[in-house]
Structure 1
Amino acid sequence: MMQTVRDATLDVLRRYALTTLYANPGSTEVALLADLPDDLTFVLALHEGSVVGMATGQAIATGRPALAILHTTAGLGNAVGALATARVNRAPLVVLVGQQDRRHLALEPFLTGQLDGLAGDYPVWTHQPARAQDVPGAVARAWHEAQTGRGPALVVVPMDDWLCVMPPDQVVAAPQTLLRPVAAADEAGASLAGLLARSVAPVLVVGAGADHPRTWSALVALAERLSCPVWQESFGARAGFPQDHPLYAGVLPAGRAQQRNVLSAHDLVLAVGAPVFRHYPYQPGHLLTPGTRVAVITDDPAEAHRAPADLAVLACPAIVVEHLAARLPQRPCRTDEPPPGRRETMAAPEVGEPLRAGHVLAALAVRLAPETIVVEETPSSRPELHRLLPARRPLGFVSAAMGGLGFALPAAIGLRMALPERPVVAVLGDGSAVYGIQALWSAARYRVGALFVVLANGRYAVLDRLAETADAGKPPWPAFEEVSMSGLATAFGCPARRITAHDELLDVLNDVVPSLPDRTQPLLLDIAVAPDHHFHP
């Protein structure tokens, strides 16, 4: 029997372990998805942002491309924000986008997608094969493009392509295996060791690109060898160092002036897996105190190419840091170095005092196991989360580096599906949750035992605080306190609890947290919190 393009493509999916298909399909995907073989798993999401968000969670969990399937213009358009997040979070995705029938595309029939450029520059590669028979090779190439470019690779497939016949001599235009050579770690280590040897007071800045067990271990060895503090990049997607280590100093402030002040005591900044540097408010002035040198180790070409650094090393951070730590002598502890940051706690609310985000985060901090994956999307409370709830294991903290909302809820589902042995807790604001609320249906339908902790203050509190700090006058946006997160969760089939008091919070957490490793049912906690009166951007 002759093999179809669909058959050959499904073989490619198997070869590259793209066996979980996240989708919200339409008519242009029916020929691909109907009568799907039993060795492939279909996961339905009710919105394309959730499709890409769940696939992004899987890609972050595994470090390998995950598969998302989108429906022509509407599907790709709905998913663009999530694709942007995947790109900035360095999550490799293979994205199949359906298109109208190739045989009458010239007439622009109903559902014809004007797809070229719709996602802007966020895909690392976009391609519509010239012939139906080139689709399997394009999907295989997309896997390599996504893995190399650390982002979404898009393949546009007209709907009639799937049932076309594959010639027996058809070439799949992609390698079965692609080996990426490791850069010369010895040479890189020698150059960096020279800089560090001449440095009197070095400091490390780590970022999402260092979030790997081997890199964490190497960085701990290097920091202890140098006896230097370690700062986390601001607005990082992941933690690059154990945040309960004595040398961990905290998260860099977001403003250039504040960063310059924090790093002013150091004559060399070594950034590992982190950009140089991320800021939020624009502030004039030097990037660093004049005389402070900068070096960066990253496996992200764009991060290396744009770094205002004295030396940039484009290589696997773990390997380079291991070589570097082995070359350097042990330094004595500096007595003039201010003590690094320490893990903080927060007292329980007084009688009559409302619950605040910090009370919830503090309660989680003393109950969550070190291996818990915390997925964050609570902009107004993120500084408190960093202070109260440190990442103690690789992949212990995951966030959206791009800044758009709608990431945490579906990403937590994808992470838990890919790593069922690890507890997953998403901490998000109600304003963030409503951007991805449809994903709760998928969590319930596929029995994904993640815990969703919604800090519900009924407003966009971060915007309120920004308006206040800018002295911009009264903001025109209203509160939305009438929106019930527990009600929405229940409507999507996800169990939920509404919590309004501290004692009730502790009782629920004491009951739920021990069950997280083995849960097969999601749970949303709709926790009423009062807006905080302070904000640190």
Structure 2
Amino acid sequence: MNLQSTSETRSDWTTVREATFDFLRSVGVDTFFGNPGSTELPMLDRWPSDIRYVLALQEASVVGMADGYARATGKAAFVNLHSAAGLGHSLGNVFTAYKNRAPMVIIAGQQSRDLLLNQPFLGATDAPSFPKPYVKYSIEPARPEDVPAAIAQAYRIAMQRPWGPTFVSVPVDDWAARCRRVRDREISIDTAPDPSLIEKAAAMLLGAKAPVLVVGPEVDEEDAGRALVGLAERMNIPVLAAPFAARVVFPEDHPLFAGFLPAAPEKVSEALEKYDAVGVIGAPVFTYHVSGQSRLVESDISLFHLTTDHLTAASAPLGLSILGSLKFSIPALAALLPETINPAGSMKSPPKSPKVVKEITPAYFFYCLGKLWAPGMVMIEESPSTRPIMQDFVRIREWGGFYTMSSGGLGYGLPGAVGLGLARPEQKIVCVIGDGSFMYSPQALWTAIQHNVNLTVLVLNNGGYGAMRSFSRTLQVQDVPGIDVQGLDFLHLAKSMGCPAQRVRTSAELEDALRKNLESTGPRLLEVVVDPEVHILY
């Protein structure tokens, strides 16, 4: 048996805390997001100067910032939360991170091991179960010396496709225990598709007279955008954005871009029935928000599905699902196709100028924003009732240029924008957010000020929850309580946290105010009082 020398054996041992920080550095971690508590103090003791600690004032904001940072960088974000209640505060945005496919390692404190049998103050009962099922991996290590290896495993699982959050609960007394260092190792995160199934997908396209692509956020996530554009141009067929795509899926000024699919079964069927072959790339088949009957399931349409997500592959109601990284599957498919299968012209007509009245309509707001939109700007949006209008007037042309939440849960947009700004300090981040959405995580603005994030927040104030107004009309329900939100002063809220703020009420003052706020640097807030007209979502 081969034995190490005594000196080698000793050098391989350290404390749980030091072994953890050694591992973090080995995978390039330079930023940590957190809201600390007493059960995390031994980890935070003498915090290293080479890792930036980003404080947020509430745990949902912590996770939202980490989510935005992870999606912008393509690297797992690390999060520090407090035991039990702290994790509980964050769970809405943990769910969003899971749906957003944001790689993340959440480390939460736990009471001392010697107290856990007696239901101590701040003790988390069955801590690993608390964030399930919306984490890919969850553990409270059985032994203190296993903590660094568990964190390393959580990181590797978070970075496996599909990306997502993981969770490690660490008792407060574990950080000083002795343990072995985590050995450096590599693990692949991308897998290739089955070549024989790619051949079947190619055959569907080759045999089609009217093919179409429906594309989702995995393309941008995997940096496969150029390959996708090459595939579409090689085939010369239209590209539709999948319902609720939470990232840019195709340059929206490209002549092959045909618009956005709504999240309703009948509407999706209506849009796709004129095609005889559908390639769904990097999206579920399909995401719906309202009930209804899909005629596609009963049709003889050919459909194939490229994805890294085994759950969306398993749940697809029709078609051939092919698992594998898009960076491999898209080029492999393109290589089997001749150029120009089907001629196609410009698919999406430019928007018409909206009617201008004294009050600011959402259409006029987005028309002005679209006019002023410049290369390098990045939008994060959380105003779901106006999203179809935004898509009409603001054309996102650049990969990595648009983000929203995939979960439908509010409270992600503002902290997500701060995380994006921390990841991309050289770019202007624009957060378009409703008044109701803003109030879920307003304290994220404080963090933006502390780090001087280059962020413009555009608050669309329609005096309530616009999406609820829309669905009330769609579902034909009346006199619903809890929709109107009056009396909020966003200027004073922003200024109380040190953020410059301005309010506009009329169309005449809008464009100039927008221009000044978009051209400024650092955090700023512009409240836009808009006409509370009802918008039909689907």
Secondary structure (helix, strand or coil) at the match of 1:109 reads: coil
Counterpart of 2:356?
349
2:252 pairs with 1:252: no
TM-fit CA distance, 1:186: 4.6
Match of residue 108, structure 1, among 89, 98, 119: 119
Counterpart of 1:534?
535
Counterpart of 1:374?
379
Match of residue 152, structure 2, among 140, 143, 148: 140
Instruction: Judge conservation of contact 1:294–1:309 (CA < 8 Å) in 2.
Output: yes
Instruction: Judge conservation of contact 2:110–2:124 (CA < 8 Å) in 1.
Output: yes
Give the whole-Å Cα distance in 2 for the aligned partners of 1:238 and 1:414: 15
Secondary structure (helix, strand or coil) at the match of 1:211 reads: helix
1:140-186, Cα deviation, whole Å (9 max, x unpaired): 111001111511110000011112233xxx263x7621124641575
Instruction: Judge conservation of contact 2:469–2:534 (CA < 8 Å) in 1.
Output: no
Unaligned 5+ residue runs, structure 1?
none
Give the whole-Å Cα distance in 1 for the aligned partners of 2:241 and 2:498: 38
CA RMSD of aligned residues (A): 1.9
CA 214–432 in structure 1, closer or farther in 2 if over 3 Å, else same: closer
Instruction: Judge conservation of contact 1:429–1:455 (CA < 8 Å) in 2.
Output: yes
Counterpart of 1:497?
502
Give the whole-Å Cα distance in 2 for the aligned partners of 1:22 and 1:243: 33
Give the whole-Å Cα distance in 2 for the aligned partners of 1:383 and 1:17: 39
TM-fit CA distance, 1:212: 5.1
Secondary structure (helix, strand or coil) at the match of 1:431 reads: helix
1:209-251, Cα deviation, whole Å (9 max, x unpaired): 1115852222222222222211101111112111111111111
Structure 1 segments (4+ residues) deviating >6 Å: none
Match of residue 390, structure 2, among 362, 385, 401: 385
TM-fit CA distance, 1:330: 2.5
Secondary structure (helix, strand or coil) at the match of 1:531 reads: coil
Instruction: Judge conservation of contact 1:454–1:524 (CA < 8 Å) in 2.
Output: yes
1:442-490, Cα deviation, whole Å (9 max, x unpaired): 0011111111111011111211121122221221225222111222111
Give the whole-Å Cα distance in 1 for the aligned partners of 2:288 and 2:328: 28
Give the whole-Å Cα distance in 2 for the aligned partners of 1:428 and 1:285: 32
Give the whole-Å Cα distance in 1 for the aligned partners of 2:97 and 2:509: 37
Match of residue 155, structure 1, among 168, 179, 201: 168
Give the whole-Å Cα distance in 2 for the aligned partners of 1:58 and 1:385: 24
**TM-score, normalised via structure 2 length:** 0.93
- What amino acid is aligned across from residue 236 of structure 1 in structure 2? A
Deviates more, 1:7-16 or 1:307-316: 307-316
Give the whole-Å Cα distance in 1 for the aligned partners of 2:53 and 2:341: 56
TM-fit CA distance, 1:434: 0.4
Secondary structure (helix, strand or coil) at the match of 2:203 reads: helix
Secondary structure (helix, strand or coil) at the match of 1:271 reads: strand
CA 395–184 in structure 1, closer or farther in 2 if over 3 Å, else same: same
Counterpart of 2:5?
none
Counterpart of 1:59?
70
Mapping for residues 96-245 of structure 1, pairs under 5 Å: 96-114=107-125, 115-148=127-160, 149-166=162-179, 170=180, 172=182, 176-180=185-189, 182-184=191-193, 186-211=195-220, 214-245=223-254
Match of residue 360, structure 1, among 351, 365, 384: 365
- What amino acid is aligned across from residue 168 of structure 2 in structure 1? V
Give the whole-Å Cα distance in 2 for the aligned partners of 1:25 and 1:417: 20
TM-fit CA distance, 1:441: 0.6
1:69-115, Cα deviation, whole Å (9 max, x unpaired): 11011111011110000010000100001101112111111111122
TM-fit CA distance, 1:314: 0.9
TM-fit CA distance, 1:370: 2.8
Counterpart of 1:446?
451
1:14-52, Cα deviation, whole Å (9 max, x unpaired): 112222111111101111113201111111100101100
- What amino acid is aligned across from residue 437 of structure 1 in structure 2? P
**TM-score, normalised via structure 1 length:** 0.94
Secondary structure (helix, strand or coil) at the match of 1:153 reads: strand
Secondary structure (helix, strand or coil) at the match of 2:300 reads: coil
Give the whole-Å Cα distance in 2 for the aligned partners of 1:492 and 1:358: 30
2:294 pairs with 1:311: no
Give the whole-Å Cα distance in 1 for the aligned partners of 2:123 and 2:149: 23
Instruction: Judge conservation of contact 2:128–2:169 (CA < 8 Å) in 1.
Output: no
2:277 pairs with 1:268: yes
TM-fit CA distance, 1:345: 4.3
Secondary structure (helix, strand or coil) at the match of 2:134 reads: coil
- What amino acid is aligned across from residue 194 of structure 1 in structure 2? A
2:55 pairs with 1:44: yes
- What amino acid is aligned across from residue 384 of structure 1 in structure 2? I
Give the whole-Å Cα distance in 1 for the aligned partners of 2:313 and 2:226: 23
Secondary structure (helix, strand or coil) at the match of 1:39 reads: coil
Secondary structure (helix, strand or coil) at the match of 2:86 reads: helix
Counterpart of 2:403?
398
1:266-316, Cα deviation, whole Å (9 max, x unpaired): 111100001101111100243356111110111122222222343211112
Give the whole-Å Cα distance in 1 for the aligned partners of 2:123 and 2:201: 53
Deviates more, 1:219-228 or 1:232-241: 219-228
TM-fit CA distance, 1:526: 1.0
TM-fit CA distance, 1:331: 2.8
- What amino acid is aligned across from residue 469 of structure 1 in structure 2? T
Secondary structure (helix, strand or coil) at the match of 2:527 reads: strand
Instruction: Judge conservation of contact 1:264–1:288 (CA < 8 Å) in 2.
Output: no
Instruction: Judge conservation of contact 2:198–2:322 (CA < 8 Å) in 1.
Output: no
Instruction: Judge conservation of contact 2:16–2:178 (CA < 8 Å) in 1.
Output: yes
Match of residue 484, structure 2, among 475, 479, 488: 479
Count matched residues: 525
TM-fit CA distance, 1:253: 1.6
CA 214–73 in structure 1, closer or farther in 2 if over 3 Å, else same: closer
Match of residue 80, structure 1, among 87, 91, 96: 91
CA 208–396 in structure 1, closer or farther in 2 if over 3 Å, else same: same
Give the whole-Å Cα distance in 1 for the aligned partners of 2:158 and 2:152: 10
2:300 pairs with 1:291: yes
Secondary structure (helix, strand or coil) at the match of 2:526 reads: strand
TM-fit CA distance, 1:386: 1.3
Give the whole-Å Cα distance in 1 for the aligned partners of 2:222 and 2:25: 28
Instruction: Judge conservation of contact 1:499–1:526 (CA < 8 Å) in 2.
Output: yes
Give the whole-Å Cα distance in 2 for the aligned partners of 1:266 and 1:347: 32
- What amino acid is aligned across from residue 348 of structure 2 in structure 1? G
- What amino acid is aligned across from residue 293 of structure 1 in structure 2? S
Instruction: Judge conservation of contact 1:260–1:289 (CA < 8 Å) in 2.
Output: no
Give the whole-Å Cα distance in 2 for the aligned partners of 1:138 and 1:236: 33
Counterpart of 2:513?
508
